Structure formats: structure tokens, C-alpha cells
Amino acid sequence: MTAPRLKLSLSFFSLLTAGFAHAAPGPEADPLNAFMAEKGLVSQIQRVEERATQKASELVVYAMGFLGVPYKLGGNSVETGFDCSGFVKAIYQQTVGLILPRKADEQALATQTIERSDLQPGDLVFFNTLHRAFSHVGIYVGDGKFVHSPKAGAEVRIESMNVSYWKRRFDGARRALATVSAESDTPSASATN
């Protein structure tokens, strides 16, 4: 199966199974569950989800290792410092091999939109800090907090999304790891394409 077909298939089956995890399946769900179990799809989906969770944990721990690195406009390394999108790009590339675009608004376009209530560690959070959509980005670490490189004169740090400044400027959440984990299940696919 090709990477795009596998990705589409996994996304479709993830959507189908998402409802079953939250509610007791009705009689109409039993044939689907039986079919998925018979074909080994349930265990395949669980393995993909476990790998995505593990990668997200590694990504967040790695990002925390850069706390205190100074902000630098256009910076994308520990040696030069980071701006917000340079920080996110470097973390994703170095931990999961995913090459995101350089600018925050392009990173938003290149990743999957999710609801704020669906945020998981490793997801991207975007803010409107320059009177334009997706002008700032950080990495969600859990418990309503995110790690980011905020502004000139500051350093990479963790902040709460519930602080009024960030709450007013929240511009959406995106997920990139689902794509990486689906691609990593296909021997011919690479997250760095």
C-alpha cells in the first residue's frame, strides 16, 4: 500500500474508531468492530497511536532541553538562538525527522487542524501576535502549557495558554505527528520527503 493510501486508510479508520472509545458501541457497531479486528486493523491503529504518543513525548522532552536559549529573529539553532518558527522547525526535524516550513503561517498550512480540546503534547499552537493570523507558534506540552521562543530579549520558555495575553491571541491548534507516524509504518515512506 502506498504512503498516501495508508495515511488515508488510517485516518478513515481512526475516525471510525474514535467514537467507539467514548461510547458503548450499539448493535450497528459490532459488525464493523468484528471486521476491523478480523483484518488486524484495530491492532495496527493502536500501534500507530502508541508510536505517535512516544514520538510526542520524545519531542516535548527534547524541546524542554532548550529552555533558556535566547530569542533571535531568523534564528534556527542553539548557536544562533531561535525565533518561534525556527524553534519549532528545529525541534521537529531533530526529533522526528519532519521538515516543516520555515515561517509560522506556512507551518499552520502544512499541518492538520485540530480543536483546542483535542490538544496533545507535541501539537502546535498558533497565536496572532502581530495583527495577522498565525504570526506566532509554540509546541503544546500538556496541562494548558506550551514551550516557545517568544520575542527579542527573551529566551525559550514555558507559558500557560490560559494567561489573558495568550488566551486573547490564540489562533488555533495543528497536528503534525499523525502524518509522521502513518508514514513511518510504510517502509518506502520517509518523514523527510
What are the pLDDT digits (tens) for 16-73? 334 444 444 444 556 777 776 777 777 777 776 777 778 888 999 999 999 999 999 9
Q: Would residue 175 count as lying in a domain?
A: yes
pTM: 0.71
Q: Would residue 161 count as lying in a domain?
A: yes
Q: Is the pLDDT of residue 125 over 80?
A: yes
Number of domains in the chain: 1
Q: Would residue 97 count as lying in a domain?
A: yes
3-state secondary structure of 112: strand
Give pairs for 136-145: CB < 8 Å, separation 24+.
Answer: 136/84, 136/104, 136/169, 137/84, 137/85, 137/88, 137/104, 137/107, 137/108, 138/84, 138/88, 139/59, 139/60, 139/63, 139/87, 139/88, 139/91, 140/173, 141/60, 141/63, 141/64, 142/60
Could you confirm whether 193 is annotated as catalytic? Answer: no
Q: Would residue 190 count as lying in a domain?
A: no
Residue 51: its pLDDT value, please?
75
Residue 147: its pLDDT value, please?
98
Residue 53: its pLDDT value, please?
75
Q: Would residue 192 count as lying in a domain?
A: no
Region 77-97: what's the mean pLDDT?
96
d(CA 130, CA 190): 35
Could you confirm whether 148 is annotated as catalytic? Answer: yes
Q: Would residue 15 count as lying in a domain?
A: yes
Confidence label for 190 from pLDDT (cuts 50, 70 and 90): very low
Region 166-187: what's the mean pLDDT?
72
Residue 59: its pLDDT value, please?
95
* Parent domain of 140: 3-184
Kindly give, in sequence order, each residue whose CB lies less than 8 Å from that of residue 186, ignoring residues fewer than 6 positions away.
Answer: 1, 2, 3, 6
Q: Would residue 101 count as lying in a domain?
A: yes
Could you confirm whether 175 is annotated as catalytic? Answer: no
Q: Which of 36, 59, 60, 84 is catalytic?
A: 84
Residue 193: its pLDDT value, please?
30
CB atoms within 10 A of CB 106: 14
CATH number at residue 58: 3.90.1720.10
Q: Would residue 123 count as lying in a domain?
A: yes
Residue 179: its pLDDT value, please?
52
Q: Which of 7, 55, 89, 148 is catalytic?
A: 148
Residue 40: its pLDDT value, please?
75
Q: Which of 136, 176, 183, 184 is catalytic?
A: 136
Residue 61: its pLDDT value, please?
94
